Amino acid sequence: MRKKGLIIFLIIINLFFIMYIYFFEERYIIKFETTDKNQSAIEYNNWNSIVLDLKKSVVSIECSKKTLSDNETIEIKSIGTGVAIYSIGDKIYIVTNYHVIKGMDDIYIYDNNEQLVKVKKIIENKKDDIAILEISKKQNMNLKIGLLGNSDEVLLGENVGVLGNLLGNGLALSVGVISGWSDANFEKGYFIQTDAAIYEGCSGGALFNSAGEVIGIVKGKISDADNVSMGIVIPINDIISFVIQSLD
């Protein structure tokens, strides 16, 4: 009799527990809130909305020049990325790397709407690997000046993304964190390091934080003997300073 009563009691307890879980299951759901740009839990949809907006300011670059080789005319091409960061009157200025456009005769950009526009280079800085391109607003009405952050406030471990012209096939996203700062193998200044993937064509691309602010311009990557690569980025504050001085 006691055994039967115990079994009935356990069944009632189990039913009560099941009903509790069913009606109050939300209490068992662990929720994460992203309260600031340095929070580690960043939802995919947040990156998606940031990229959709940033793509209005980032362009794919294709360059070419013709040269003679063995009495034949050959075409040499270069690919890269650029970011619209400044505007004066009718002019829009796009920053990229010097090595992307070095020695090239024709430079074209593709915007987010796949509109092809020929641009002209106005300033080249070989030492710091920076170049400034110029177009008029009449040439491209869709290009938007990017939201710029403060690279002096970049934090170690901060979540970041890179938007670049992946292998010349258009803009693509890679994500990672700020992994450090380096001046190794460079003549001057410091560079931001990131473990976000850097591919061919991403030079001149945007390094941005989870607030959608551009905090640097991709220079390239370095690799060691074990094929461990690290992205190298020129801080946006250095870019801004150079652009203002050059356009004054």
Which active-site residues does the annotation give? 99, 129, 203
d(CA 46, CA 175): 13
Question: What is the DSSP code (8-state) at residue 52?
Answer: H
Tokens matching residue 77? 């091409």
- Residues 175, 177, 178, 184, CA torsion sign: negative
* CA 33 from centre of chain: 23
For the chain, helix, strand, coil in percent to 5 are 25, 40, 35
Tokens matching residue 128? 């710091």
Q: 204 near 218, Cβ under 8 Å?
A: yes
Give the chain's length.
248
Strands (E), 89-190: 91-96, 106-110, 116-125, 130-136, 159-165, 171-182
For 209, list phi and psi in degrees, rounded to 5: -95, 180
d(CA 7, CA 13): 10
Report the first-to-last Cα separation within the chain, whole angstroms.
Answer: 97
d(CA 109, CA 170): 11
